[in-house]
Structure 1
Amino acid sequence: MTLAGLVVLMVGLHYVADVFGPAFLAFSLVIAVRPLRLWLTDRKVPGWIAGAGVAVLLYAILLAIVGSMAYSVMALVEKAPDYAGKFQTLYVQLRDLLTQWGINETDLGNSVLEYAQPSRVITALTTVLTGLSSVGSQLFVLVMVVAFLMIDSTIIQGRRGQLLAAQQGLGQAFEDFSRRTSKYWIVNTVFGAIVAALDWLVLLWLGVPLAFTWGVFAFVTNYIPNIGFVIGVIPPALLGLLDGGPATALWVIVWFSVINFVAQAVIQPKITGDAVGLNTTVTFLSLMFWSAVIGPLGAILAVPLTLFFKAVLIDSDPRSRWVGIAFDSRGRPIDLRGTARMINDDGRISLRRAYGREAPHPTETPSTRQHTEEQP
């Protein structure tokens, strides 16, 4: 019954994705800036002023991102026809090279080469950026939900204590969700902006056209887990190949890889640690799943959505916390208190809660266990 209910819920979310997507984005963004509002109120700033100031800051950031995306889309649409001839030449060279290797269109499959045609490549690049900028068409829902949540933030803060008193497990799960979501957005935004700025400077140095567009594209794809970097590097590398040759394309890939590795694999973990606690497999499957459920925005919201449903369905109920073992990225013991079983720090299963004593060690026999217990 639970599985059937989840299926029905996901189908319903798919049909209301245009509303649910921006609404949940607003919800998670308000959670992300909540520490700033609390910091202001702790310093005697009136609640309504703190809420309004944080809302204005959030609107300014969103406006800057959406405006940059809109400008990038217009620049790409304007420049794309100029490279149609070069795309066509590259396509012909690719086909001739495959023919020299003894691979013809029939062996490779006509459909594969068709997707490499210039018109399809240009259309695909434009569609990707336009799809990302379509978030702007849902700004009304986003803006209104942010405003209402900021207005209700004081009431929500008061009800937090009531939730913890009535449903301690659910309250603690939501607290953990809020902390991880806030950390996720802040970390990804800060490091994404740094990486995008460095990518933009590299593209300017290499002379790759539309450097600002690809910098914005790299910033947005930074929110797409696991494959965001790959998506972000392909268009500028391809344009570098057309405009400057193979050497330029290679340098784009090398510099993007170095910047991304140093920022996100070396510096970021040392500063922030594990921001969300989800392993790589779960993150990738979440990306695929939520993209199918609510569309392109699901790729950006994959991690917050997974954290939310994990909090509601797994972390809130002691009987289901064992499922969290499959989600965790650090391999640490999961607290299973409240059930018959719990895991000790050394990984052994304790049955003390159910039977009033520790479980026997795997090498112990009933006789040796009894002898040990009878000793003073």
Structure 2
Amino acid sequence: MFEDIKIPGYLNKIVVLVLVILALAGLKLVSSILGPILIAMFFSILIYPFLKWLNRRGFSYNVSIIITLVGFAVLGGVIIEILYFSLSQMVSALPSFSINSSSALSSEANYVAQTIISHFPMGAVTDIVGTAVFVFFATIFMIYEIPNLKVRLEKGLGKDNNNLNEMIGLIDTFIKYFLIRVKVNLFAALGFIGIFLAFDINFALLWGILTFFLGFIPYLGIMIAAIPPILATWAKYGIQGAILITILFIIVNTIAESIIFPRQTGKGLQMSIYVVFVSLFVWGWILGPSGFLLAIPLTIIVIKYLEKYDETRWLAILMTSDDDENNVNE
């Protein structure tokens, strides 16, 4: 009786959009715990190639796991300690921060600085460190489980399962992209730390770590990371020092983003610039700060999923870009 009923195409698209909205709303409800878990997952995916590299070098699986976990524990512990002490000292120093009134545009700069300070979540330092500790231990357990997880999936789904192969291929793409991103961000962070040390700017390591992680946020990350040290330089050396350090930032960032990154990635992610920009705010709203860091990989997952079905492939096409589009108006 109902077999002859044909659902209009436009109704299918409406249903898909409603389901997407409901899914995003559900993610929003569990964002406080989902965000750190996703960050731990991506960290473990990034670290896993190092474990495989050790295994290929002749180390046994157990020895490779131990070396990887110890190395990550040492690195993670150092970063958490730097974050804790630097953030604690910075919070205690913020109330007395001001730019010398003899400096040009000092009143405007002080207004910007005080606005940032007044909105700085003073009580969030403990939460930031607590989240970092959770991510640290969650990543350790995930690193240990990843090889076993792959074996279990292959046993349950079969090695020739299309969905499993697509997922593995997507993870490999993420690993390649993020390893390149890590190299570029590390170059920028070390360059900025060198500039901070040369200018004798306080909390140089903190600003470097901030630059490294915010570098994963397209377009906006580096600009946000540059604001605190520029204001600190303005307070110490006046507007001339702020202008000089800004120029140095631009030079380092241009080398990293316009020379190193394109040569490493080739054509890139084939994502619309508009989609990249909007995805930052969408995932930031859904997951909080972790959403900004994971916006690109999460958007790629959505696009790959939409491409699999006829009803949603049009959405995937809208979200991607093509090199041929540049020749449309020629």
TM-score scaled to structure 1, two decimals? 0.71
Structure 1 moving runs of 4+ over 6 Å: 87-92
Supply the distance in 2 between the matched residues of 1:224 and 1:158 (Cα, whole angstroms).
33
Judged with a 3 Å threshold, the aligned counterparts in structure 2 of structure 1 residues 321 and 253 are, in CA distance, closer, same or farther, namely same
Supply the distance in 1 between the matched residues of 2:56 and 2:203 (Cα, whole angstroms).
45
User: Is the 2:100–2:235 contact (alpha carbons within 8 Å) kept by the matching residues of 1?
Assistant: yes
Secondary structure, in 3 states, of the residue corresponding to 2:121?
Answer: helix
- 2:262 maps to 269
- 2:281 maps to 288
Q: Which of 283, 302, 316 is 1:324 aligned to?
A: 316
- 1:127 maps to 121
Q: Which of 13, 16, 31 is 2:45 aligned to?
A: 31
Q: 1:207: how far off?
A: 4.0
- 2:240 maps to 247
Q: Deviations over 1:71-104 (max 9, x none)?
A: 3312322332332474899888449xxxxxxxxx
Q: 1:294: how far off?
A: 1.2
Supply the distance in 2 between the matched residues of 1:133 and 1:188 (Cα, whole angstroms).
28
Supply the distance in 1 between the matched residues of 2:203 and 2:88 (Cα, whole angstroms).
11
- Is 1:116 aligned to 2:111, yes or no? yes
Q: 1:68: how far off?
A: 2.6
Q: Structure 2 counterpart of 1:286, which letter? A: S
Q: 1:233: how far off?
A: 1.4
Q: 1:231: how far off?
A: 0.6
Q: 1:262: how far off?
A: 0.7
- 2:66 maps to 52
Judged with a 3 Å threshold, the aligned counterparts in structure 2 of structure 1 residues 42 and 332 are, in CA distance, closer, same or farther, namely farther
- 2:16 maps to 2
Supply the distance in 1 between the matched residues of 2:309 and 2:56 (Cα, whole angstroms).
33
Q: 1:298: how far off?
A: 1.2
1:346-365 superposed matches below 5 A: none
Q: Which of 237, 248, 256 is 2:249 aligned to?
A: 256
- 1:100 maps to none
- 1:203 maps to 196
Judged with a 3 Å threshold, the aligned counterparts in structure 2 of structure 1 residues 63 and 305 are, in CA distance, closer, same or farther, namely farther
Greater relative contact order structure (CA < 8 Å, 6+ sep): 2
TM-score scaled to structure 2, two decimals? 0.79
User: Is the 1:288–1:299 contact (alpha carbons within 8 Å) kept by the matching residues of 2?
Assistant: yes
User: Is the 2:39–2:135 contact (alpha carbons within 8 Å) kept by the matching residues of 1?
Assistant: yes
Q: Structure 2 counterpart of 1:120, which letter? A: T
Q: Structure 2 counterpart of 1:127, which letter? A: P
With 238-247 and 40-49 compared, the bigger mean Cα shift is at 40-49
With 68-77 and 315-324 compared, the bigger mean Cα shift is at 315-324
Secondary structure, in 3 states, of the residue corresponding to 2:323?
Answer: coil
Q: 1:280: how far off?
A: 2.5
Supply the distance in 2 between the matched residues of 1:34 and 1:281 (Cα, whole angstroms).
32
1:109-258 superposed matches below 5 A: 116=111, 119-124=114-119, 126-127=120-121, 134-139=127-132, 141-159=134-152, 161=154, 163=157, 167-168=161-162, 170-258=163-251
Q: 1:200: how far off?
A: 1.8
Q: Deviations over 1:149-179 (max 9, x none)?
A: 33432332224546475751x3343123212
* Contiguous gaps of at least 5 residues in structure 1: 96-114, 334-346, 348-376
Q: 1:288: how far off?
A: 0.4
State the superposition RMSD in angstroms.
3.4
Judged with a 3 Å threshold, the aligned counterparts in structure 2 of structure 1 residues 202 and 117 are, in CA distance, closer, same or farther, namely closer
**Identity of aligned pairs, percent?**
20
User: Is the 2:100–2:106 contact (alpha carbons within 8 Å) kept by the matching residues of 1?
Assistant: no
Judged with a 3 Å threshold, the aligned counterparts in structure 2 of structure 1 residues 139 and 197 are, in CA distance, closer, same or farther, namely closer
- 1:16 maps to 30
Judged with a 3 Å threshold, the aligned counterparts in structure 2 of structure 1 residues 123 and 68 are, in CA distance, closer, same or farther, namely farther
Q: Structure 2 counterpart of 1:45, which letter? A: F
Q: 1:317: how far off?
A: 4.0
Judged with a 3 Å threshold, the aligned counterparts in structure 2 of structure 1 residues 140 and 256 are, in CA distance, closer, same or farther, namely closer
Supply the distance in 1 between the matched residues of 2:39 and 2:184 (Cα, whole angstroms).
19
Q: 1:256: how far off?
A: 0.2
Supply the distance in 2 between the matched residues of 1:70 and 1:277 (Cα, whole angstroms).
38
For these two proteins, the number of residue pairs brought into alignment is: 311
1:82-101 superposed matches below 5 A: 82-84=96-98, 86=100, 93-94=107-108
* Contiguous gaps of at least 5 residues in structure 2: 1-14
Supply the distance in 2 between the matched residues of 1:280 and 1:309 (Cα, whole angstroms).
16
- 1:74 maps to 88
Supply the distance in 2 between the matched residues of 1:199 and 1:256 (Cα, whole angstroms).
7
Q: Which of 290, 293, 301 is 1:308 aligned to?
A: 301
Secondary structure, in 3 states, of the residue corresponding to 1:226?
Answer: coil
